[in-house]
Amino acid sequence: MRQSRLDRQLRIEGWNQQALENAKVGVVGDDDLLASLYIMSASALGINNVLVLSPTLNAILVETAKKLNPRFTLTHLEGFYTHPVIDELFKGCNLIVDLSHYGLANKLLLEKGYSENIPIIRGLCYEQNNEQGFKTFTYIRGREWQELEQIISPHNFPNGHFDDGVMDTIIAGIVLEETKNLLMDQDVSDDLTSYKRKKLKTSNGQPKILVVGSGALGIFVGLGLAYSQFRQITFMDPDVVEVTNLNRQVFFYDAVGESKAKTLSKKLNELFGTDSNAQVAYFDRNSDISSYDVVFDCVDNFETRIVLSEICKDHSKILLSGGTSADAGQVVIYNPMEKGVTPAELLGMYDIVEKRDPEIYQRERAACLYQPDPSVIMTNQIAAGFMVDAYRMLLDGQQPDNIFYDSNKNTRI
């Protein structure tokens, strides 16, 4: 079971699952979603031992973490990191993830990282003047750089702070990527990764949203939409859940063999109060999108992406297209008001598909001469988060940029 559950990431060259499973990871958090989202994703990735110091955790996400990974052990200490004496709690941790929003913890942890040579991975979201955004940085002794000034929260003591479930989802993904890299002795970014945009106005209204694809991207798009108070969502996917999906498709831990679209819709309605529904179907040229205001493309093949691009262009619908691999991802936006090119045109999908001879395809498929692409949770939650944020920006009258993420490069975004 474990082997099957982790199959898609065990296929990655140089992957060291044991390093993840044997590690002990310390986390310092606040009373918000960020630490809980990190814990859930870490469990899905197969990190088995997490110690958290945080006043509260989100019960739904923690429960999901436990159900996803039978070996997962969470030690939760309720409180704040306000004195060096608390250091002892983190004895034996391979690294500490600092997701808190008070400067005292940030400084104490950097001091601990320096004096004990423990890596500290920092992630936070912030609101400043008319701006909202996030920053992440990996501190390793020797990196006493100016960037450190930017990752220390302005308030020394725990305080009310800006929190956003969508940005938290992205931060948790980037921070988990760094966690994985450190534990597997791979290169970590030495850049400050940051993202910012204008503050969003409050009301989103209730647009009708179609999410095509209910795999890892679709799940995190659904979660981001729920956190953004969108309710009217339709999930479309013809597939059923397989064991090998469970290293990244976090809400399917008890649904192997069942419809992905139906399970996702049910889970989000039960756990997050959405009013979503499911269509167990392929998206094709006959699919009717006339009643929707926006379409999220969360599929896993260029052929369907081309159809989505063309249908959305024909019907003048907003399209947010996401795509991921094990270490990279992109988000491309089609806004009919801008009269720009579609995702399929921008990314040259027609050329790619044209080079695929359909006859060879059929032969390969018949002879099973294909293999699943490796896949992990991080790139999916990062791309999905940016897709939802791009949509919120469009509704707010802002112009989101297309985003290209690459976990192998210093300049991640």
End-to-end CA distance of the chain: 35
> Cβ neighbours of residue 138 under 8 Å, at least 6 residues apart?
119, 120, 121, 122, 178, 182, 188, 189, 190
Q: Which residues is 405 bridged to in the sheet?
A: 329
Count of residues that interact with other proteins, criterion CB under 8 A? 52
* Binding flag, residue 409, other proteins (CB under 8 A): yes
Residue 56 structure tokens: 């509260």
* Binding flag, residue 284, other proteins (CB under 8 A): no
Among 59, 77, 281, 341, binds other proteins (CB under 8 A): 341
**CB count in 10 Å sphere of residue 203:** 9
Q: Are 300 and 374 in contact (CB under 8 A)?
A: no
Point out which span in 35-43, 101-109, 219-227, 347-355 binds other proteins (CB under 8 A): 347-355
**Would you say 30 or 297 has its CB closer to other proteins?**
297
* Binding flag, residue 123, other proteins (CB under 8 A): no
Among 144, 185, 275, 401, binds other proteins (CB under 8 A): 401
Residue keyed to tokens 């996803």: 68
* Binding flag, residue 310, other proteins (CB under 8 A): no
Indicate if the alpha-carbon torsion angle 11, 16, 18, 22 is positive or negative: negative
Q: Are 77 and 52 in contact (CB under 8 A)?
A: yes
Q: Are 208 and 232 in contact (CB under 8 A)?
A: yes
Q: How far apart are CA 130 and CA 323, in angstroms?
A: 30
The distance of closest approach from Cβ of residue 332 to other proteins in the complex, given in angstroms and rounded to an integer, is 8
* Binding flag, residue 369, other proteins (CB under 8 A): yes
**Would you say 1 or 368 has its CB closer to other proteins?**
368
The distance of closest approach from Cβ of residue 280 to other proteins in the complex, given in angstroms and rounded to an integer, is 18
Residues 164-193 that bind other proteins (CB under 8 A): 191-193
**Longest CA span, the chain:** 68
CA-nearest of 127, 184, 124 to 151 is 124
The distance of closest approach from Cβ of residue 249 to other proteins in the complex, given in angstroms and rounded to an integer, is 12
Report how far apart, in Å, the C-alpha atoms of 205 and of each of 201, 274, 396 are: 11, 14, 11
Residue 392 structure tokens: 């919120």
Among 241, 375, 378, 387, binds other proteins (CB under 8 A): 375
**Would you say 148 or 346 has its CB closer to other proteins?**
346
Q: Which residues is 121 bridged to in the sheet?
A: 97, 138
**Would you say 119 or 329 has its CB closer to other proteins?**
329
Among 329, 342, 378, 381, binds other proteins (CB under 8 A): 329
39, 45, 49, 53: CA torsion to nearest 10: -20
Among 17, 232, 325, 335, binds other proteins (CB under 8 A): 325
CA atoms within 13 A on the CB side of 392: 26
Contact flags string 190-209 toward other proteins, x per CB under 8 A: -xxxxxxx------------
**Would you say 281 or 341 has its CB closer to other proteins?**
341
Q: Are 361 and 390 in contact (CB under 8 A)?
A: no
The distance of closest approach from Cβ of residue 367 to other proteins in the complex, given in angstroms and rounded to an integer, is 8
Among 21, 31, 163, 406, binds other proteins (CB under 8 A): 406
The distance of closest approach from Cβ of residue 391 to other proteins in the complex, given in angstroms and rounded to an integer, is 15
**Would you say 106 or 407 has its CB closer to other proteins?**
407
Q: What is the CA radius of gyration of the chain?
A: 21
* Binding flag, residue 410, other proteins (CB under 8 A): yes
**Interacting residues toward other proteins by CB under 8 A:** 191-197, 215, 217, 300-302, 323-325, 328-330, 332, 341, 345-349, 351-352, 356, 360-361, 363-364, 369-373, 375, 379, 399, 401-406, 408-413
